[in-house]
Amino acid sequence: MNLSVPDYILSIKQYVAGKPLEELEREYGIKNSIKLASNENPLGPSPLAVRAIQKEMVKLNRYPDANGYYLRNKLSAKLNVPSENIVLGNGSDDIISMLTRALLSPGDEAIIPRPSFLMYDISVRSVGALPVYVPLCVSSEAISIDLDAIKKRISSKTKMIFLTNPNNPTGTIFTRDEFEKFLENIPPEILIVLDEAYIEFVRDRRCLNSLDFLDSGRALVTLRTFSKAYGLAGLRIGYGVMPEEIAGLLNRIRQPFNSNSLAQAGAIAALDDENFLKKTITLVHEGLDYFYDALDRIKIKYFETQANFLLIDVKKDADKVFKHMLKEGVIVRSMTSYEFPEYIRINAGLKDENVRFINVFEKVLKL
C-alpha cells in the first residue's frame, strides 16, 4: 500500500510487552514456571474485587458509566481531593496519551528521564512532539533521576516533563525537599507529569507525595494505577489527579467508555479491601528483604528499592542470564532494552517463588 505516513509515526519503536506465562511455557516447553518479570501482584487480585466483578458480569449488555461517577467519588474520599480533579483511564498509559494529545503540538519538546517507561516516548512522538532525554544519575549507591540535569535541559520549546517516583526500572525516589527545590524557577506553563505507579510500596517517609501539590497553582498531574498493589493489571484501570482545568481538557478528548464496567466495579471494591493491600505490601517488603540478604550472601550487587521490584547487576550478558533462567522455569526481565545490558529486574513474589529464584540464579551464575 502507498500510505502517506508522517515521519514522526515511523520514528516510534513498537512497545514490546512481556509475554504471558502460558506463552513462554509453550514456547520453551517448560511447566510449573514462575514469573517475576512484570512487577505484578503475587497474591493475585483483591478477593473483594473478584466478587464485585462477578456480580457486575450480569450487566455486560449495558454500556459502562462513561464518567466513572462512583469510582471517582470513591477515590475522592480516599485521597481527599475533589472528584472533578480525577480522570479515569484504561490504565495510566491512557492518561499519558490524553495529556500528550491535548497539550503537545508538533515541534514541542517533552523531557523524559532515560531509561524510563517506554510509553512516555511513544505518546510524545505520536503527536509529532520531540522527546528530550536526560540520562539517569549513576553512582555506586543508586541509579536515580537527575533533577538538576533535567532542569538544565529546559528550553523555550519545553512543554512537558515526565518524572517517575519511584522510578522504573531502578526503584529509586526523590524526596519532597528535592522536588520543591526542582520546582524553583520552573516556568508555570510547563506541565509536570508525576507517575506514582509504585507509590504504595514506598518505605522511605521522605518520599514525595505529589497530591500535596494539587492546589499549588502549578500544571501538575499525578498518575496512579490499580495494576500493581491492587492486583488488577488485567483490567487496565488507572487514573490521573490534576487541576480541574486540565481535567476538563482531557475529558474533551477522552473516549466516553475508556474504563469498562468490570474495571470500575473491581477498582471500587479493591479500595475497600484494606486487609488485602496491607497483606500485599507486607509480602513485598518481606520478599525484598529476603532478596537483600540472599544477594549479600552470594556477593551480588543490587540497588535497594522503594518499589516492588529490584535491579540486579549480573556482570554479564543479561539476555543470556534471562534465557538460562527461563529454561529453568524462572521468568525475569532483562534490562537490555532499558540500556542496562548487564542488569536484570525481578519483582518480589511469594516466599517459595523468591527462594526458587535465588536457587536458580546461583546455578545460572556458575554457567
Domain architecture of the chain: domains with CATH: 7-44+275-365 (3.90.1150.10), 47-272 (3.40.640.10)
Cα angle value 296/298/304 (rounded, 5°): 30
Task: Report whether 315 contacts 13 (CB < 8 A).
Answer: no
DSSP 226: S
358 and 325 in contact (C-beta within 8 Å)? no
pTM of the model: 0.94
Sequence-distant (6+) residues with CB within 8 A of 7 are: none
Which three three-digit cell numbers place residue 325?
Answer: 533462567
Please report, in tens digits, the pLDDT of each residue of the chain (367 residues total).
Answer: 788 888 888 888 887 776 677 887 888 788 889 999 999 999 999 999 999 999 999 999 999 999 999 999 999 999 999 999 999 999 999 999 999 999 999 999 999 999 888 899 999 999 999 999 999 998 878 899 999 999 999 999 999 999 999 999 999 999 999 999 999 989 999 999 999 999 999 999 999 999 999 999 999 999 999 999 999 999 999 999 999 999 999 999 999 899 999 999 999 999 999 999 999 999 999 999 999 999 999 999 999 999 999 999 999 999 999 999 999 999 999 999 888 999 999 999 999 999 999 999 999 999 8
- At 137, list the grid cell: 544519575
Return all residues near 296 (Cβ < 8 A) that are at least 6 apart: none
The Cα 49–Cα 150 span in angstroms is 40
